[in-house]
Amino acid sequence: MERRRFIKNIGLAGAGMLAGSYLLSSCQEKSMGFPIKNWVWITPEANLPMDTWKERFEELKKLGMHGAIVQVYASHHAMYGSDFLPVTEPLLEKLIVLGKETGVEVHAWMWTMPNNNPYYIENHPEFYAVNGLGQPSHTHPAYVGYYRFMCPNQPGVRDFIVRNVQTLASMEGLDGIHFDYIRLPDVIIAEALQPVYNIVQDREYPEYDYCYCQVCRDMFREQSGIDPLKDLEDPSASEQWRDFRYHSVTRLVNQHLIPAARVNGKKVTAAVFPNWESVRQQWSQWDMDAYFPMLYHNFYNASLGWIGENLATQIAALKNPVPVYSGLFLPSLTPEELLEATEISLQAGASGTALFALNHLSDYHKTTILNNLSNK
Radius of gyration of the chain (CA): 20
Q: Is the pLDDT of residue 124 over 80?
A: yes
pLDDT of residue 15: 28
Q: Is it the case that residue 4 has pLDDT exceeding 60?
A: no
Cβ atoms 226, 217 nearer than 8 A? no
Give me the domain span that covers residue 140.
3-374
Exposure class string for 277-295: b at 16+ Cβ within 10 A, else e: ebbbbbbbbbbbbbbbbbb
Average pLDDT over residues 319-337: 95
Compute the distance between CA of residue 168 and CA of residue 148 in angstroms, rounded to an integer. 22
Residues 31-40 have pLDDT tens digits of: 778 999 989 9
C-alpha span between 336 and 133 (Å, rounded): 47
* pLDDT above 90: residue 271: yes
Query: What pLDDT is attached to residue 168?
Result: 98
pLDDT tens for 197-250 read 999 999 999 999 999 999 999 999 999 999 999 999 999 999 999 999 999 999
What's the rounded mean pLDDT across residues 283-306?
A: 97
Backbone angles phi, psi at 272, to 5 degrees: -130, 165
Report the C-alpha dihedral over residues 254, 260, 262, 265, rounded to 10 degrees: -170
For the entire predicted model, the pTM comes to 0.92
Mean pLDDT of the chain: 92
Query: According to the model, what pLDDT value does residue 12 have?
Result: 33
Give the contacts of 283 (CB within 8 A, at least 6 positions apart): 270, 272, 273, 276, 291
Q: What is the C-alpha separation between 92 and 266, in angstroms, rounded?
A: 15
Give residue 71's pLDDT: 98
Residue 3 has pLDDT above 60, yes or no: no
| Alpha-carbon distance values, 344 to 20, 165, 339, 370 (Å) | 12, 34, 9, 20
User: What is residue 374's predicted lDDT score, i.e. its pLDDT?
Assistant: 74
pLDDT value at position 371?
A: 86
**What pLDDT is attached to residue 7?**
37
CA–CA dist 129, 150 (Å, integer): 5
The total number of structural domains that make up the chain: 1
**CATH number of the domain that residue 153 is part of:** 3.20.20.80
Give the sign of the dihedral formed by CA 182, CA 188, CA 192, CA 193. Answer: positive
**pLDDT attached to residue 9:** 39
pLDDT band at 84 (very low <50, low <70, confident <90, very high): very high
pLDDT average, residue stretch 270-293 = 98
Please choose, from the candidates 93, 256, 273, the residue with its C-alpha nearest in 3D space to the C-alpha of residue 161. 256
Q: What is the pLDDT of residues 69-82, one digit of tens each?
A: 999 999 999 999 99
pLDDT tens profile 152-185: 999 999 999 999 999 999 999 999 999 999 999 9
- What does each C-alpha distance from 61 to 51, 54, 144 come to in angstroms? 15, 11, 36
Residue 33 is predicted with a pLDDT of: 86
Reported as a pLDDT band with limits 50, 70 and 90, residue 29 is low
131 φ, ψ (degrees, to nearest 5): -85, 180
Q: Is the pLDDT of residue 8 over 90?
A: no
User: Cα(329)–Cα(71) distance, rounded to whole angstroms?
Assistant: 17
Strands 34-35 and 30-31: antiparallel
**Mean pLDDT in residue range 266-293:** 98
Band (pLDDT 50/70/90 cuts) for residue 87 is very high
Positive or negative: CA dihedral 78, 159, 324, 315: positive
Residue with more model confidence, 371 or 14:
371
pLDDT grade for 18, boundaries at 50, 70 and 90: very low
